[in-house]
Amino acid sequence: MDQLNLSSNQEHIIDVLIRKNPDLDRGILSKAVAFIAQAHEGQYRKSGMPYTEHPYEVAKILADLKQDQPTVLAGLLHDVVEDTDHSLEELAEMFGEDTAFMVDAVTKITAAQEANKTAQKAETYRKLIIAMAKDPRVIMIKIADRIHNMRTMRYMKPEKRQLIAQETLDIYIPLTHRFGLYKLKNELEDLSFKYVNPDEYQKLVDALIENKESREQYIQSVIGPLQIKMALEDFDCTIQGRTKNIYSIYNKMLSRGCQFEDIFDIFAIRIIVESIPECYLALGYVHNLWTPLQSRFKDYIATPKPNLYQSIHTTVIGPDNKMVEVQIRTKDMDLTAEKGFAAHWAYKLETQHEGEELAWLNHMVKLQSEISDSKEYLDFLKVDLKPSGMTVFTPKGTSIELPQGAIVLDFAFAVHTELGLHCIGAKINDEVVNLDTVVTHGATIQILKSPHQEPSPEWLEMVKTVKAKQELRRWMRNSMIQQSKDLGKEIWIRELRLAKIEKDKRPAEEAINKYFGTTSVDDFYERIGQGELPLVDIQRFLNGDRAQNGNDSAKALKFFPSFNKDKKAEYRDEMPLQIGRETSLMIHFAKCCAPVPGDKIVGVLRPQIGIEVHNEDCPELKKLTDGQQIAVQWSEQSTHAFEVHLSIENDNRKNFTYDVLKALKDENLFMDRISSAGVNYSGRVRLVFKAYRKEQVDNLISNIKKIPGVRQVVKS
């Protein structure tokens, strides 16, 4: 009886698969269904159901997406190698190389193959991305697998559910967007949201149920006039109304900082027509009925999304003066919007032409090969997989895909690394903009560059794309090596001059390497510049070298700078290094005292950092050991602006912040940020601004002290 029931169940599964996709072969499906029943015999899901329920459901999802025979077979067989004793070679022989390749691609790297879970997860994703680039059908199996697992998550422990749901939000939902699988994306979003934030999820479910009747009435109040208008124009189309998914409504609430009751666009009206010209004709009819909002108009037909999505989106002031979103598309566009790239799968595979819609996969394969650290790679995936959201263009019309919030600098690096490294700004619609300007969808951008421009560390905080960050880090690593060598050489020559060692009597490279354990003179310079060799060690080496040549080492010592913390004057005159001539990655300005040109300063050698510049009276200097300090002074050629922090204690009164900003403006200084707080009669203002000289800071502090109610002003 059991065997008969099992056979009946198998026949039912095969019937369902063929009904969903008539192109599937019954004979090979029968073979695969019988094979997995035997392979997974005795295995059960957390729900208590036979394990075969899972591969059956995965295959149904794939058949519904009209996937081909090898893909549906791989869906049925995807857990066989991971969870049974059967091998890939066996699958290849029975069901073909294509199917075996896809099964291997979705099989996890085992814990035994990797040292820890982070590395295991990272390597599994690396393997998946590489396989996707070779055969994009792989991701369809992985998404179908995740969909069914999410549908049955209620049988898992709460902490496990939350981990899987968060991973789905980070990795799998961006993938569904990349492939245009919006129907599956919406389902995955709501299922993930349900487990990641169950309280907010339930609140929204209750709210949607509560206003369901009034919402449906309003949708009909929009559809009714549209149907009448189209009938009067003798225009054939289909009009639908749908409520947006729960997770997208929640994101709207977060981004707008409002409650559910304040969200006007929780539903959308969709008009489906036969041809592209009819899309624009329908748009005209909609705008004849209601006033459009130009700022919310998007034409994804003229500029399709990278995942092939096409549609016209317009927002109008509908009945009762409420905003209504209307989407207009052809039947083919609607199929693509529902099934994404999969809707065109057969054609794409036959022609072997993926086009630009899959270029991001090759881009990811290239980038991931440059990231060796597992944690960094997982962070990269979470950022780079996210949907781009916009396409921008070069002056020649080449399209560039960028994430929301990307700036001109991201675009420059996307076009070419050298363009990014020397970018000084851009022209957008004939308007010159800064390199940190946020770019918008559809913009044509011309990058402006200068051979004298070089990146600064602040750029790393500004850019959004992984490529820009990687190229900047690479440039900075290389620049730091060269700059540390240059700085180290400058310090070494300075010490030789202070010791009055003539050129022909300087220590040989062999002696230097032997004493300091370096491999070359460049390595020696680099270690000095990075602050790894204390000055006292260099001085000890030079003194010993001179003593061996018959010189009085005690006499030689007097030529070295004294770094006694109680004798500040002595290290100001000992051939100080020039600071502030140009941007250097090896010279840093201490935040504890924030020196600006005009302050009396001293340098501190910090291992792996270089020189840290402090004010001469900075309390932090008292914590240093001898040999860390080095004489420095401001270069007269310094043209850089330096960040200054002021803390202002004041009487808590109206317009005090305005008075501070006016004092700043009077000194022609640039404000970075300002904050204020007050309790009862006391207030505090924190001001951050840029200054070029000490005199500017002193004048500003003096003028702020003259403001009524000021109690104290200090640099912080």
**Looking at the annotation, which residues are catalytic?**
82-83
Distance CA 45, CA 57 (A): 13
Distance CA 14, CA 26 (A): 7
Alpha helices in 153-275 (DSSP H): 158-167, 173-178, 182-196, 198-210, 212-232, 246-256
Distance CA 121, CA 390 (A): 30
Distance CA 605, CA 601 (A): 13
**Parallel/antiparallel/unpaired status of strands 291-292 and 610-615:** unpaired
For residue 552, give every residue at least 6 positions away whose Cβ sits within 8 Å of its Cβ, in sequence order, or none: none
H or E stretch at 270: strand 267-273
Distance CA 638, CA 636 (A): 6
Integer CA distances (angstroms), 349 to 29, 67, 143, 346, in order? 22, 11, 19, 5
Cα diameter, the chain: 111
| Chain-centroid distance, C-alpha 257 | 23
DSSP 562: P
Distance CA 367, CA 123 (A): 14
Contact 461, 407 (CB under 8 A): no
Integer CA distances (angstroms), 4 to 1, 7, 18, in order? 5, 5, 21
First to last CA, the chain: 83
Distance CA 661, CA 669 (A): 10
Distance CA 137, CA 133 (A): 9
Q: Is 660 helix (H, G, I), strand (E, B) or coil?
A: helix
Structure tokens belonging to residue 329: 């598309």
**Residue found by looking up tokens 């067989």 in the block:** 77
For residue 442, give every residue at least 6 positions away whose Cβ sits within 8 Å of its Cβ, in sequence order, or none: 303, 390, 391, 392, 393
H or E stretch at 339: helix 331-339
| Sheet architecture: strand order including 431-433 | 431-433, 423-428, 445-449
Supply angle C-alpha 638, 642, 648, rounded to 5. 145
For residue 86, give every residue at least 6 positions away whose Cβ sits within 8 Å of its Cβ, in sequence order, or none: 39, 80
Virtual torsion, Cα 49, 53, 55, 60, nearest 10 deg: -150
Distance CA 574, CA 562 (A): 9
DSSP per-residue string spanning 34-63: HHHHHHTTT-B-TTSSBTTHHHHHHHHHHH
> What is the number of residues in the chain?
716
Structure tokens belonging to residue 430: 């004939």
- Side-chain-side CA neighbours of 308 within 13 Å: the count stands at 24
Nearest Cα neighbor of 403 from 183, 186, 125, 178 is 178
Q: Is 180 helix (H, G, I), strand (E, B) or coil?
A: coil
